[in-house]
Amino acid sequence: MKFQKGQSGNPAGRPKGIKDKRAIWREMLESESEELINKAVQMAKDSDEQMLKFILDRVLPAKPKTNPIEIGEFKGNPEEKSTMIMQAAFKGLITPLDASVLINTLKTHTYMVDMKVIQDKMEELEKLNKPQSSLGSH
């Protein structure tokens, strides 16, 4: 259902000019931000574990869930590479989830390489099958 130009989709909604509650809170706290930060830091220093965790999570967040994965030299055919990935998981060097992602990425990459080879071969065959135009014959 289309609404007419200038007609609200929610006429009973928030009237124009009324600020969002979060914006109001943000504005109110802005002038107090330095004092609030100092208070939070003092609470953390005074052994408030929840405040300490809160601050550390915001200022020094944990490593992202997706970190670069190092499994050593990555050479060989797809079977050898997948074996290396599984061995890294078995040794605890990478998580099983990381191993799964790597195996799927390897599988997709191998498929794409194979598709390129097939495409190149087909183009080669098409060139060979094109009828040769004879020069000078009518």
Among the listed residues 111, 113, 114, 106, the one whose alpha carbon sits nearest the alpha carbon of residue 78: 106
pLDDT band at 67 (very low <50, low <70, confident <90, very high): low
State residue 94's pLDDT score.
Answer: 86
Token look-up 């030299």 returns: 73
The C-alpha atoms of residue 62 and residue 20 are separated, in whole angstroms, by 31
Whether residue 26 has pLDDT greater than 90: no
The C-alpha atoms of residue 66 and residue 42 are separated, in whole angstroms, by 33
pLDDT band at 39 (very low <50, low <70, confident <90, very high): very high
Token look-up 């002038």 returns: 31
State the chain's mean pLDDT as an integer: 84
Whether residue 112 has pLDDT greater than 80: yes
Quick one: how many helices (H) and strands (E) in the chain? 5, 0
Higher per-residue pLDDT: 136 or 97 = 97
**Residue 45: C-alpha distances to residues 40, 49, 56 (Å):** 9, 9, 12
pLDDT band at 93 (very low <50, low <70, confident <90, very high): confident
Contacts 24+ apart (CB under 8 A), 95-102: 98/69, 102/69, 102/71
pLDDT band at 120 (very low <50, low <70, confident <90, very high): very high
For the ranges 52-66, 77-91, 98-112, the lowest mean pLDDT is seen at: 52-66
Nearby residues of 54 by Cβ (< 8 Å), 6 or more positions away: 40, 44
Whether residue 133 has pLDDT greater than 90: no
